């Protein structure tokens, strides 16, 4: 048993302020120290989480947060199902910023690059870190098309709408793709398999028109190739040519 036995109040009600309601959880840390025992980096996740909660990012660095490899073992072994790895990841992001409001966009972009979207509970902590209303952060995230407040589908489909792609048939590709996937631009399928978006420019103008599926790029697309693409992605991602 961990002799230090930190009292992790991060997931407990700290006071009666309305802004803390989102922090109330039914699975508070019980100081079992299992997270410490399973970390192959020798880190103490519960100690690091206490540092993060109190904004002590210098201490979190001293305690080795940069060594965390996001393996998730601490979360898997936690008997209270506390998503420790999520907060360690957030701590690594915020430890590079000094709390100035000018850091909002870079923080949101980095958070999304880690999670694929902006988790609501993570936004709450960013709001406190930057001393901004959550509503302001949601407004910013809603304004920028590149930011998402909901998880994308397993296959994130983007159709390039740059000039070269537009004049080469991107509007028709969009209609074809919407019909095939049964969703409109900006929507996610009910089975969470596909999310359909557009992007201003992929940067592959010589391959226009272009569609991307996650990290794969498909060029010189047409209606037939779109049909082949989404038949093939049901089993494996293959470039239809």
Does the structural domain 155-232 have CATH classification 3.40.30.10? yes
Reference 210, options 170, 167, 156, 154; nearest CA is 170
Token digits of residue 100:
């100035």
Q: How is the beta sheet containing 211-213 ordered, strand by strand?
A: 194-199, 155-160, 211-213, 216-218
Contact 91, 125 (CB under 8 A): no
Every domain range in the chain assigned CATH 3.40.30.10: 155-232
Task: Give residue 158's pLDDT.
Answer: 92
Per-residue pLDDT band at 140 (split at 50, 70, 90): very high
Task: Give residue 170's pLDDT.
Answer: 93
Write down the residue that tokens 């589908």 correspond to.
153
Reference 219, options 151, 140, 165; nearest CA is 165
Task: Give residue 82's pLDDT.
Answer: 77
Cα separation of 9 and 50, whole Å?
A: 8
**pTM tops 0.85, yes or no:** no
Cα separation of 189 and 187, whole Å?
A: 7
| H-run or E-run covering 211 | strand 211-213
Token digits of residue 15:
């006071």
55 pLDDT more than 70: yes
Per-residue pLDDT band at 238 (split at 50, 70, 90): very low
Token digits of residue 172:
């028709």
Percent above pLDDT 90 for the chain: 28
Task: Give residue 234's pLDDT.
Answer: 61
Per-residue pLDDT band at 14 (split at 50, 70, 90): very low
Decide the pairing of beta strands 155-160 and 211-213.
antiparallel
11 pLDDT more than 70: no
Per-residue pLDDT band at 13 (split at 50, 70, 90): very low
pLDDT digits (tens, 9 = 90+) for 71-89: 888 888 888 777 788 888 8
Cα separation of 217 and 219, whole Å?
A: 7
Contact 59, 43 (CB under 8 A): no
Task: Give residue 27's pLDDT.
Answer: 53
């Amino acid at each position: 048993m961990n002799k230090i036995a930190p009292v992790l109040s991060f997931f407990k009600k700290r006071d009666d302020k309305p802004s803390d309601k989102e922090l109330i959880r039914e699975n508070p840390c019980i100081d079992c120290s299992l997270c410490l025992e399973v970390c192959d980096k020798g880190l103490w996740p519960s100690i690091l989480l206490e540092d993060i909660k109190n904004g002590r990012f210098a201490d979190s660095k001293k305690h080795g947060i940069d060594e965390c490899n996001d393996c998730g073992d601490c979360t898997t072994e936690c008997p209270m199902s506390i998503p420790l790895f999520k907060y360690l990841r957030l701590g690594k992001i915020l430890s590079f910023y000094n709390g100035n409001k000018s850091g909002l966009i870079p923080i949101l972009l980095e958070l999304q690059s880690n999670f694929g979207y902006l988790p609501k509970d993570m936004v709450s902590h960013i709001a406190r870190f930057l001393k901004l209303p959550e509503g302001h952060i949601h407004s910013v995230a809603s304004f920028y098309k590149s930011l998402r407040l909901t998880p994308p589908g397993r296959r994130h489909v983007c159709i390039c709408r740059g000039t070269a792609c537009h004049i080469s048939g991107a509007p028709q590709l969009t209609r074809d793709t919407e019909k095939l996937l049964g969703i409109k631009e900006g929507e996610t399928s009910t089975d969470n398999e596909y999310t359909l978006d557009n992007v201003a420019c992929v940067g592959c103008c010589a391959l226009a028109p272009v569609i991307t599926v996650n990290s794969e790029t498909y060029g010189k697309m047409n209606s037939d190739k779109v049909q082949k693409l989404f038949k093939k992605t049901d089993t494996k991602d293959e470039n239809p040519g």
